[in-house]
Structure 1
């Protein structure tokens, strides 16, 4: 039963992660996971530098720039950026850029956080009860 409980917990966590990724994909249906990681990092580290993001996420400079630009105003594929983050010169070192959420980015991250805190537990409990129901009906 312990293994079943652990498997159920992993399943529920996977469903929650899927729901969060789906919300990001509503903003951009082709948003890569690296951009999602950058966005979440910026939300948790506003005002820190692009270099700190690179170091923290283990990204190459070009990868971080490409993903942040797509989250900001410029996408390298010629389409507009998402307008979720902004980059500004670091007043301590003009060679560096600091990153922050835009109001649009803050709204999105608040929606995701509200889902995780409020909605996910109830919807996941529903899924969990459905799993339990199926397990109880399964022949031994």
Structure 2
């Protein structure tokens, strides 16, 4: 039998471990947190104040899909049940038809946990 040889370098494995630790706060919220929700949250965290159309275009999904994702990680999900409370959508005061997504205090706590995981991960 031949000796098993790992595919990844130690540095690549260290980055994979860092990513796993950074994603752990999402798993604490829900062990089966969909990647689409994680990505949507990070989009809002990186560029708050945009509307559904901008986030949908950036993510390469339809506005309908992005609306569902923003609702599900917001205060009330698409079924009008409690959501994850990570983002909120406020009316745009210059165009009342639009809403602007922002991180909630719970979303900010989550972001701090992600940052702490990334900072404390040895490489």
Question: Shorter-chain TM-score category?
Answer: 0.7 to 0.9
Identify the residue that residue 121 of structure 2 maps to in structure 1.
Answer: 120
Asked if residue 52 in structure 1 is aligned to residue 54 in structure 2, the reply is yes
Is 1:51–1:96's contact at 8 Å kept on the other side of the alignment?
Answer: no
- What is the CA deviation profile of residues 88-120 of structure 1, one whole-angstrom value per residue up to 9, with x for unaligned ones? 112232222110001111111011112212x11
Q: Secondary structure at 2:9's aligned position in 1?
A: helix
- What is the CA deviation profile of residues 42-74 of structure 1, one whole-angstrom value per residue up to 9, with x for unaligned ones? 111111222211111111112111111011122
TM-score (norm 2): 0.84
Identify the residue that residue 61 of structure 1 maps to in structure 2.
Answer: 63
Q: Structure 1: how far apart are the matches of 2:106 and 2:82?
A: 15
Residue 40 (structure 1) aligned to one of 39, 42, 55 = 42
TM-score (norm 1): 0.75
Residue 77 (structure 2) aligned to one of 75, 78, 93 = 75
Q: Structure 1: how far apart are the matches of 2:34 and 2:112?
A: 20
Identify the residue that residue 21 of structure 2 maps to in structure 1.
Answer: 19
Note the aligned Cα RMSD (angstroms).
1.8
Residue 32 (structure 2) aligned to one of 30, 34, 43 = 30
Is 1:84–1:102's contact at 8 Å kept on the other side of the alignment?
Answer: yes
Query: Between Structure 1 and Structure 2, how many residues are aligned?
Result: 117
Residue 93 (structure 2) aligned to one of 76, 83, 91 = 91
Residue 12 (structure 2) aligned to one of 1, 10, 13 = 10
Deviation at 1:78, TM superposition (A): 6.3
Give unmatched runs, 5+ long, in structure 2: 1-5
Q: Larger RCO: Structure 1 or Structure 2 (Cα < 8 Å, ≥ 6 residues apart)? A: 2
Deviation at 1:77, TM superposition (A): 5.4
Q: From the two aligned structures, give the one with the greater helix fraction.
A: 1
Larger Rg: 1
